[in-house]
Structure 1
Amino acid sequence: MIFAAGRGTRMAPLTDTRPKPLIEVAGQALLDHALALTTPGDQVVVNTHYLAPMVEAHLNGSGASTVFEEVLLETGGGLRHALPQFPKGPVITLNSDAVWQGPNVLELLRAAWQPDKMDALLAVIEPERAMGHRGAGDFGLGADGRLRRGPGTVYVGAQILKTDSLELVKDEVFSLNLIWDRMLSEDRLYGMSYPGKWCDVGQPESIALAKDMLGV
């Protein structure tokens, strides 16, 4: 699942007339940078809300399907809303507001996934290789691969997640942080360190950072 429903308020004024996933970096829409990480044959679902017809038109012919949110449901609510589009089992989720330099993060996640001990596997990166990101990080990454809340590494918006616990949340609108906290309490939230570079393209000045990282 690719998250593409948000209003992109930090990217204003560029998002006054087009959704953030269609902002271009190095001649390619952010959404296309995300789609390029998927594998042929993947069942790709993109959630939409803000200026949804533009996103749907952009995806025409791509093989990806869309699911519209009447109201913004945040990451947890949005994923649960889209679950009928997927076969039962773990789902890969990917944010659409970043670009990458290095190996395909989704291929690395698939290779590292161990469902017997993991309920989720998050891709993380050290702050010095996270362009356009401020702060000390979101999670500490232990030697055993388990995550803990706190500084250390930055979550880069890509993960494999078991979806069973989504049904335990009563709220319609909720963040995946609620699910992660449950997994943390059971020592089943894991991280994978991404070996390349990553740029959070969340505001206009980040476009230049991303192009510089890509060498264009």
Structure 2
Amino acid sequence: MISQFLSAAGWADARQVSIAGDASARLYVRLFRGSETAILMNAPVETTQSRQSLDAFRHIGAHLRRLGLSAPEEYAADPDHGLILMEDLGDQTLSFLLERDPERATVAYQAAADLLPRLNEAPPPEGLSAPDPGEMADMVRLTLDLAHTPAALNSRLLDALEEALRRHASGAPVLSLRDVHGDNLLWLPDRKGHAQIGLLDYQDAMLLPAGYDLASLVDDPRRVVPESLRDILISESDFSSARIAALSLIRNLRILGIFHRLSTQDSKPHYRDFLPRTRALILRCVDELPELKDPVTDLLRHTESWSGAAPHCLILAAGFGKRMGDLTKDLPKPLIKVAGKPLLDHALDIARDASIAHIMVNAHYHADQIERHLPSDVTCLVETPEILDSGGAVKNAMRHAHGDILVSLNADNVWAGPNPISMLRKAFDETRMDVLLLLVPLHRAVGRTEGPDFSIDADGRLTLNKQDGSHVYTGAQILNAKPAIDDPRDVFSLMDVWQNCQAKGRLFGLVYPGTWADVGHAAGIAAAEAMAATHV
């Protein structure tokens, strides 16, 4: 059927290259015919709902093109078989620009925000649903059903969401494309005006409160929009921060359930990587809307297990090669053997045992040796010409990760007992904590040559206390990396982040029940090996 369709359209001999799809079941192929390209979309149409989705895509696309906007032009269509041959708008998404060219990304995001009022001003196409505040709040029920939350919580949350929409997001509904985010927007600099933004994935359009698409743009669970850019886009709009927060909250509470379903039921496990950031965006919204804090926090507690907090781990292995003396003259410290294997492998084994999806290792001194040592599925982040310090290392690592939650391990420590990462992930409560550090009491710190690091209170909150504290940091932590991501510096210490978290009451500690050894100095090797030998 596809070959016949392409033949009738004059693209029978085109070279075909599959391209990444989206959250749907649609398939996409890029076609090459000489210097020309086109996109073949193969959409399911077996059910009434899937056929309606395809019809909506064509209907909304035609409306957008009539407005002079860059929705892909149709070259040929066989809707009964779900086939559309359409214009290729390229692959320069706004998400791509955020990663590769932040300066152009700023221009493109501002162009996208400027486009949205054009959608609001024109009469919308016919046939779109226009949910009222109660019906919008009910869109979150998908997440509530998946979380099996109590009926009392459901009622309390939905009522509060409806009230927030009535209070902060009133006014006549306007056309909303709904999935306006970096992956669905393309930068077309050769075009003029609003046509510089290519539009994709608009078949779920509705009539919603003005500002919904801006909330979608600035609070993207898949990509971190820089805080400064987010502030500019909102301040230059006609919308209050409370309105954006209310609309973003509705959207991301629903997305929380959608991403969970995609990762667990639809064989798309990478969507789990986005759940920590989705939760962080939800928490941002309730900071703006304190009346929703209690029911939203209760929902997040019921869904804590979904994200498997921190799918990414950074092993901090970048040093100067000085503390170990002659042992590191020709060898980086992470490759020194302790109890029969390199220090770095101890950390790698912990990360793998905790089922970490993405492991990263930073390196500086003799970085080439570390690169050669690492298996191919581990990302090596070489810091050159200068070392980035711990905060800079986290900021750099998050450029290669989704979401905001990260586990880090220092490569010059050895743990014997329960898996440190598993303990941290289980205990991390992002509604209360920005950083959770794994500690041991000073008297159980094997190989420690310095004093304490922290005092810890009955609730687990930490205070930096080098003089008369009680506990030592073991080099394992789980943290919300957003403060590091947003730091304008490239080289800085995580100590700055910890101090800020302490001031907000969001720096916590967890006491490790096993044994731990500091191998940051030569004498620590024998102490760590003795510890490992006695561990059963």
TM-score by length of 2: 0.39
Quick one: structure 1 residues 92 and 125, their matched pair in 2 at CA, closer, same or farther if it must change by over 3 Å?
A: same
Quote the residue 1:18 is aligned against. Answer: 331
Quick one: structure 1 residues 127 and 41, their matched pair in 2 at CA, closer, same or farther if it must change by over 3 Å?
A: closer
Quote the residue 1:67 is aligned against. Answer: 381
Query: After superposition, where does 1:64-143 map in structure 2 within 5 Å?
Result: 64-70=378-384, 71-143=386-458
Residues 102-158 of structure 1 deviation map (CA, whole Å, 9 limit, x = unaligned):
111111001101011101100011011111112331011110010011111000111
On the 8 A contact 1:95/1:157 being kept in 2, the answer is yes
1:215 corresponds to 2:533: yes
Give aligned-pair identity as a percent.
40
Secondary structure, counterpart of 2:509 in structure 1: strand
List 4+ stretches of structure 1 deviating above 6 A: none
Quick one: structure 1 residues 85 and 192, their matched pair in 2 at CA, closer, same or farther if it must change by over 3 Å?
A: same
Secondary structure, counterpart of 1:13 in structure 2: helix
Deviation of 1:78 (Å) = 1.1
**How many pairs are equivalent?**
215
Instruction: Give the stretch that moved more between structures: 35-44 or 105-114.
Output: 35-44
Residues 19-62 of structure 1 deviation map (CA, whole Å, 9 limit, x = unaligned):
0000000110000000111133520010111111100110034x
Secondary structure, counterpart of 1:177 in structure 2: helix
Deviation of 1:171 (Å) = 2.6
On the 8 A contact 1:201/1:207 being kept in 2, the answer is yes
Quick check: which has more Rg, 1 or 2? 2
**Distance of 2:450 and 2:381 partners within structure 1:** 33
TM-score by length of 1: 0.96
On the 8 A contact 1:7/1:15 being kept in 2, the answer is no
**Distance of 2:390 and 2:458 partners within structure 1:** 28
Relative CO higher for 1 or 2, CA cutoff 8 Å, sep ≥ 6? Answer: 1
On the 8 A contact 2:416/2:515 being kept in 1, the answer is yes
On the 8 A contact 1:131/1:198 being kept in 2, the answer is yes
Instruction: Give the stretch that moved more between structures: 7-16 or 113-122.
Output: 7-16
Secondary structure, counterpart of 1:76 in structure 2: helix
**Distance of 1:40 and 1:148 partners within structure 2:** 31
Quote the residue 2:512 is aligned against. Answer: 194
Unaligned regions of 5+ residues in structure 2, if any?
1-313
Quote the residue 2:480 is aligned against. Answer: 162
Unaligned regions of 5+ residues in structure 1, if any?
none
On the 8 A contact 1:7/1:20 being kept in 2, the answer is no
Deviation of 1:89 (Å) = 1.9
**Distance of 2:496 and 2:356 partners within structure 1:** 31
Secondary structure, counterpart of 2:409 in structure 1: strand
User: Which of the numbers 340, 345, 352 marks the counterpart of 1:27?
Assistant: 340
**Distance of 2:316 and 2:516 partners within structure 1:** 17
On the 8 A contact 1:129/1:196 being kept in 2, the answer is no
Q: By percentage of residues, which structure has more helix?
A: 2
1:173 corresponds to 2:487: no
Aligned residues: CA RMSD: 1.2
Quote the residue 2:318 is aligned against. Answer: 5
On the 8 A contact 1:120/1:160 being kept in 2, the answer is yes
Quote the residue 2:156 is aligned against. Answer: none
User: Which of the numbers 499, 503, 506 marks the counterpart of 1:185?
Assistant: 503
Residues 173-209 of structure 1 deviation map (CA, whole Å, 9 limit, x = unaligned):
1100000111000000000000111101011121110
Deviation of 1:168 (Å) = 4.0
**Distance of 1:168 and 1:187 partners within structure 2:** 20
Deviation of 1:170 (Å) = 3.0
Quote the residue 1:43 is aligned against. Answer: 358
User: Which of the numbers 149, 153, 167 marks the counterpart of 2:464?
Assistant: 149
Secondary structure, counterpart of 2:350 in structure 1: coil
**Distance of 2:417 and 2:389 partners within structure 1:** 28
